[in-house]
Amino acid sequence: MPVDAHAQGLLDALKAQGLKSFEQMTITEARGAIETFVGLQAPREEVKQVHDLTVKGPAGELQYRVFVPAAPTPMPVIVYFHGGGWVGGSLAVVDEPCRAIANRCGAVVIAASYRLSPEARFPAATEDAYAAVQWASANAATYGGDANRLGVMGDSAGANLAAVVSMMARDRKGPAIKAQILTYPVIQRDGDFASRKANGEGYLLTSAGVAWFWKQYLASDADAVNPYASPIMAKDLTGLPPALVLTAEFDPARDEGEAYGKALAKAGVPVTVRRFDGLIHGVFWMSGAVPRGAELQQAIVQFVSKQIN
């Protein structure tokens, strides 16, 4: 099907404004561009409580934002990792979608910051993300959460971290993760994926932009085959939590996300893969500009209800 009319309108407007592709930006420019997604979002929903916390991480202080909905306790807990190519993104840019997920799922949502590249390259972000899951498991009850119903979630590079943390928790014997929700995940630096060519230009995130983000994130080519960076490279995908993989038709990362879903299924992991025709990368942050982004939320609510609610 063609690009969704609202998404196309947004793409046309951004082009008219002269928005550069990420690979043409400086780090500072890229971070600023990512933050502008807040302006594409619907008005923020009210939740019962929001707690802004400073927590000691593996290499310094990290910021967490805990969203507590008005729902029966104990609630499932979802740790959310923002996207932004490991270079940008923030708790602010995912505040609106985290509120919506908390309310619709009846779950405590913990948005966790992590060290950004290139100042802190791989594996800094993965270790920070794993520490966030440990913290959530230990502190869930304080916010009405049930540590025995713990899920992880992320979009784009954040979905990569959610996939990797699921693997780390398996390898390190905990915490037990009951579900992983991967929204248009970036899964592998290298790979001959048709969508990288077919959707390489013209849909906000370019294939060259994806390569640029990987260049900022990894310190060496050897890191590119490390499964904690490229989870599809893992020799063993068994024993991972049930997964929901959401992809968008006009996204250079579409095929790698779907390939990861197939790899998980082959390893015996329960997987639901859903492609949203007509949509583009980043739509989860565009609730005000692209109403069909609500379809992704609905898929997440259904999955959470089945797996951890």
Those residues with Cβ within 8 angstroms of residue 96's Cβ, 6 or more apart along the chain or in another chain = 38, 41, 42, 43, 44, 45, 287
Q: Which residues of 237-247 are buried (b: 16+ CB within 10 A; e: fewer)?
A: beebbbbbbbb
Q: Is 12 a catalytic residue?
A: no
* Residue 173 CB contacts under 8 Å (≥ 6 apart), including other chains: none
Catalytically annotated residue among 137, 156, 166, 207 = 156
Q: Catalytic one among 4, 95, 251, 255?
A: 251
Q: Is the dihedral of CA 135, 141, 147, 149 positive or negative?
A: negative
Whether residue 97 contacts residue 284, with contact meaning beta carbons closer than 8 Å, is answered with yes
Please state, in angstroms and rounded to a whole number, the distance separating the CA atoms of residues 292 and 295.
Answer: 6
Per the residue annotation, which of 90, 95, 207, 281 is the catalytic one?
Answer: 281
Q: Any catalytic annotation for residue 281?
A: yes
Q: Which residues of 104-140 are buried (b: 16+ CB within 10 A; e: fewer)?
A: bbbbbbbbbbbbbbeebbbbbbbbbbbbbbbbbbebb
Answer yes or no: are the C-beta atoms of 268 and 206 closer than 8 Å: no
Query: How far is residue 225 from each of residues 60, 104, 222, 231, measured CA to CA in Å?
Result: 27, 37, 6, 9
225: Cβ contacts below 8 Å, ≥ 6 apart: 233
**190 in active site:** no
Q: Which residues have a catalytic role annotated? A: 156, 251, 281
